[in-house]
């Protein structure tokens, strides 16, 4: 039985923003519970605007206004076996003990997050300094060159400034940065958006290999179901701030339960399939005023009356499989 190294309970939050003078709340993460096992890839899928990145920021603990957390708890088991209640720690402890050492983060716009005035190698050296980790400069450089080579980047990259690299190269540099201290958890938010499909596959397989060697866990966020099919052990489907389905990747792809999951998987191109893919009509709802009942009901081909009135309960089908949909909520 695998250990849960990260447990998220009833996490709820969003953005407090002003529209004109009116204060509104963008309810981007609505009562989300998740666990992350030791040595696995947990995927988070869903169209853009569903709250995936917000969930990542909240799990990481990087709460920067206008983002606010309204409730929920996150506990983390460190490599040393210590159990930490992240929501009870002050930001300085999180910064020193957790970030980059236990959990690292690849932000969504990773090709634009490097300091424009610093050479790549100095940005790596900087991270050592942030965590007061002593290391010989030559050793860092050598280590760096190796890491970058594993991500199929030329070693000269270390002397470049960010603007001298392509978006895809910068993205790989940021990935390399996140793996620097062999963290137990890597939170990767759309890590391969700036690269072409071929490079994407190369990077994903390198990430896969790195993870298997280091026995780390990934939370991998992507709107791209083919990325999930390739990478994930388990997958969570997110719609309008809710996790609507969660299960082993194989099971979910073979037999999707939630109508939204079905639509996402149907939009994938299968080998040998020549029929035109039908996409899902419409867009995710406005999270300031989400629809009542099941948030998916306006787009759902199977919607029944109760879907419009009441939020669906979570139905567990299996130890690691659940769905939030009235179609499966039989009152037996």
Ligand X SMILES: Nc1ncnc2c1ncn2[C@@H]1O[C@H](COP(=O)(O)OP(=O)(O)O)[C@@H](O)[C@H]1O
- x-or-dash string of contact with ligand X, 62-81, rule CB under 6 A: ----x---------------
Distance between CA 32 and CA 328 in Å, rounded?
Answer: 19
Stretch that binds other proteins, among 73-81, 104-112, 222-230, 293-301 (CB under 8 A): 104-112
Nearer residue to ligand X within complex by CB, 15 or 230? 15
Residue from 34, 77, 114, 264 binding other proteins (CB under 8 A): 114
Nearer residue to other proteins within complex by CB, 61 or 293? 61
Give phi and psi for 143, each to the nearest 5. Answer: -60, -40
Q: Where are the beta strands (DSSP E) in the chain?
A: 4-19, 22-37, 41-45, 67-77, 83-85, 103-106, 185-189, 217-221, 234-239, 242-248, 314-318, 321-324
Are 296 and 308 a contacting pair, CB within 8 Å? no
Q: 């759309």: which residue's tokens?
A: 190
Cα Rg of the chain (Å, integer): 21
If one asks whether residue 280 binds ligand X (CB under 6 A), the answer comes out as: no
Partner interacting with residue 113 (select from Mg ion, ligand X, other proteins, none; CB below 5-8 Å by kind): other proteins
Stretch that binds other proteins, among 96-104, 145-153, 238-246, 289-297 (CB under 8 A): 96-104
Residue from 43, 53, 94, 185 binding Mg ion (CB under 5 A): 53
Stretch that binds ligand X, among 47-55, 81-89, 91-99, 168-176 (CB under 6 A): 47-55
Are 104 and 186 a contacting pair, CB within 8 Å? yes
Stretch that binds other proteins, among 60-68, 70-78, 81-89, 198-206 (CB under 8 A): 60-68
Are 61 and 98 a contacting pair, CB within 8 Å? yes
By the criterion CB under 6 A, which residues form the site for ligand X?
A: 15, 17, 26, 28, 46, 48-54, 66, 287
């Amino acid at each position: 039985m695998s250990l849960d190294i990260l447990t998220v309970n009833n996490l709820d939050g969003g953005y407090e923003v002003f529209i004109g003078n009116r204060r509104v709340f963008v309810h981007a993460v609505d009562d989300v519970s998740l666990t992350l096992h030791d040595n696995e890839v947990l995927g988070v899928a869903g169209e853009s605007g569903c709250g995936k990145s917000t969930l990542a920021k909240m799990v990481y603990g990087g709460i920067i206004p206008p983002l606010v957390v309204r409730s929920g708890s996150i506990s983390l088991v460190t490599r040393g076996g210590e159990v930490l209640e992240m929501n009870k720690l002050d930001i300085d402890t999180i910064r020193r003990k957790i970030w980059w050492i236990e959990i690292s983060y690849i932000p969504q716009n990773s090709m634009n997050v490097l300091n424009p005035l610093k050479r790549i190698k100095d940005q790596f050296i900087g991270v050592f300094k942030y965590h007061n980790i002593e290391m010989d400069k030559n050793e860092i450089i050598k280590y760096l060159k190796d890491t970058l080579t594993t991500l199929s980047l030329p070693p000269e990259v270390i002397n470049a400034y960010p603007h001298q690299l392509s978006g895809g190269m910068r993205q790989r540099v940021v990935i390399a940065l996140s793996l620097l201290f062999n963290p137990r958890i890597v939170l990767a938010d759309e890590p391969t958006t700036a690269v072409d499909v071929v490079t994407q596959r190369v990077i994903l397989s390198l990430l896969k290999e790195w993870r298997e060697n280091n026995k780390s866990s990934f939370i991998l966020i992507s709107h791209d179901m083919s990325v999930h099919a390739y990478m994930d052990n388990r997958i969570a489907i997110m719609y309008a701030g809710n996790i609507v389905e969660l299960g082993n990747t194989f099971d979910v792809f073979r037999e999707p339960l939630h109508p939204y999951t079905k639509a996402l998987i149907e939009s994938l191109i299968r080998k040998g399939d020549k029929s035109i893919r039908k996409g899902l009509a419409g867009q995710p709802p406005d999270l300031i005023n989400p629809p009542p009942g099941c948030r998916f009901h306006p787009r759902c081909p199977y919607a029944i009356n109760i879907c419009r009135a009441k939020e669906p309960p979570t139905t567990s089908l299996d130890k690691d499989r659940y769905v939030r949909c009235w179609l499966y909520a039989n009152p037996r």
